[in-house]
Chain A
Amino acid sequence: MSSPPNIARLYDDHAPALFAFLRNLLRNETDTRDILQDLFVKLARRPNLLDGVRHERGFLLRLSHNAAIDLIRRRGARERNHEQLDRESASLFAASADPDTQVFREKLAEALGDLPTEQRAVVHLKLWENLTFDAIAETLQIPLNTAASRYRYGLDKLRERLRPIYDEIK
Chain B
Amino acid sequence: MNSEFEKRMQSQSFREIPGQWRGEIMAEAAKWQSRPGSAPARHPTLRLLSDWLWPYPKAWAGLAAIWIVILAMNLADSDGRRQMANVNPPPSRAMLEALKEQQQMLARIFAPPAPIAAEPPKPSRPSRSEIRPLRRYV
Contacts and interface: CB of A to CB of B under 8 A. Distances in A.
Interface in B31-88: 32-33, 38-39, 41-42, 44, 47, 54-56
A108 B12 contact: yes
B48 to A, nearest CB: 10
Interface of A: 1, 4, 7-8, 11, 15-16, 19-20, 23-24, 33, 36-37, 40-41, 43-49, 51-52, 66, 69-70, 91-95, 101, 104-105, 108, 127-128, 155, 158-159, 162, 166, 170
B42 A48 contact: yes
Interface of B: 4-6, 8-10, 12-18, 21-22, 24-26, 28-30, 32-33, 38-39, 41-42, 44, 47, 54-56
Contacts, number: 99
Chain A to chain B: the 7 pairs with minimum beta-carbon distance, closest first: A44-B29, A20-B14, A19-B17, A44-B33, A66-B55, A44-B32, A40-B29
Contact of A49 (B8, B18, B25, B47): B47
Given A15-B22, A37-B28, A66-B55, 10 more contacts: A7-B29, A16-B17, A20-B15, A40-B29, A45-B38, A46-B47, A47-B39, A48-B39, A66-B54, A158-B5
